[in-house]
Amino acid sequence: MEIDNVVCAFCGCVCDDITVTVEEGRISEVKNACTLGRAWFLGHSSNAHRPSGTVNGRPVSTEEAVEEAARILAQARYPLIFGLTSTYCEAQKEAIALAEVLGACIDCCTSVCHGPSGIALQGVGEPTCTLGEVKNRADLIIYWGSNPAESHPRHLTRYAVTPKGLFTPRGRKDRRVVLVDVRPTPSARAADIFLQVKPGKDFECLWALRALIKGIDLEEDAVADTGVTLAQLKDLADRMQSCRFGMLCVGQGLTQSRGKQMNTTAVFLLVRELNGFTKFAAMPMRGHGNVTGIDNVLAWQTGYPFGVNFSRGYPRFNPGEFTAVDVLTRQEADAALIIASDPVANLPRPASGRLSQIPTVALETRESETTKIAKVVITTAPAGISAEGTVYRMDNVPLRLRKVLPSPFPSDEEVLSRLLERVKELKHA
């Protein structure tokens, strides 16, 4: 059976034009997806062989695993809830309710990817648009510190570089593409212009561009240590001012290098000022399928997009204090609930090592480095394959994940809802 208009929730592009073929209870073919999306659908198509749950490596039922998880979390003095970027908003909502009841810290992968973009947004705002506007209108695309050819392959072909739009009827021929990065990447092949910035000098380049578009005369010396010449920056500033609709795509090369939120603040200020000349927008290249969703759901419910602490009974936000890497590295967290994420494989060693020292509960669809060290593992139905819900594309457009395969396992939302009820009972016992 062929199912059309399926949504891929692997990366922040959240492509909603995928066709999957289901045969004998598994996905046998995937059309329109990139290699990453295809591998995601095929790799998740069956996890039925897994146990419903484990406690200390011993297979147990979902109910037993939930009971043990609830006991661990209810007894903890400073529990951490982390992950949530590869599940859907309805499950994220339950996790936030659980964090509030527990007085826990709740954080998501934003704190280790585009947290600095969120901080910049709070400071100066974010001049943004939808990916539909990019496709239909943008004639200048700048990828800065991003390698979409490898991280978001269909960003190039579906939204920003090659697609034909209402005011870009010739597709690629109607656009100029600039890549700014510290080294040439496979994305450079898709660009007309490549500017190689010295590592850690992005802020200086962005600030020089702001000066140039304000008409300030700069000496060559002012940009001498950036790796980019003044002539190159003047050319880019001219292109930015004279395009019809410009788009600056913010990659992790800006948020996770020296400067962090100052880099993204410089981007948003530059783009804000460019709107005095033309229409221009900026957008973080969000990585995981629903990382934008958890930022939104956390912000609706607590006022803050990541790194939220409920230990005083109300939400507090302080990156560096309440973010997962810091809470774990300082050995403050005494229990952890990891949802749809693999921090043991991805967080720095001092933080990930702490997860094997404390009782860790993992809600996961398949084996990962985190499930290997977790005291309790609860197997859940993969979101977007066997569980439906709402996700947010990187441009904050909500899309509905479809269920294309049955699963013997409950969804993240169902498990979190049961966990919440049980923790409430234990807390009030």
Q: Which residues bind ligand SF4 (CB under 6 A)?
A: 8, 10-11, 13-15, 33-34, 36-37, 152-154
- Residues with Cβ < 8 Å from 302, sequence gap 6 or more? 96, 308, 315, 317
Least spacing, CB of residue 213 vs ligand SF4, in Å: 32
Tokens of 215: 């008409």
Rg (CA), the chain: 23
188: tokens are 């450079």
- Cα separations (Å) of 362 from 2, 198, 202? 33, 40, 38
Closest contact distance (angstroms) between CB of 17 and ligand SF4 is: 9
**Of residues 30 and 377, the one with the C-beta less far from ligand SF4:** 30
Q: How far is the CB of 117 from ligand SF4 (least distance, A)?
A: 19
Query: Can you list the pairs that 121-127 forms with residues at least 24 positions away whose Cβ atoms lie under 8 Å?
Result: 121/264, 121/268, 123/261, 123/265, 124/265, 124/268, 124/269, 124/272, 125/268, 125/272, 126/268, 126/282, 127/268, 127/271, 127/272, 127/275, 127/280, 127/281, 127/282
By beta-carbon proximity to ligand SF4, the closer residue of 31 and 427 is 31
Of 65 and 340, the one with the shorter C-beta distance to ligand SF4 is 340
Q: Which is nearer to ligand SF4, 50 or 152 (CB)?
A: 152
Give the nearest distance from C-beta 135 to ligand SF4 in angstroms: 14
Query: Which residue number has the CB closest to ligand SF4?
Result: 37
Give the shortest CB-148-to-ligand SF4 separation in angstroms. 9
| Residue number, 200 or 398, with CB nearest to ligand SF4 | 398
Is the CB of 296 or the CB of 329 nearer to ligand SF4?
A: 296
CA distance 396 to 408: 32
> How near is the Cβ of 298 to ligand SF4 at its closest, in Å?
22
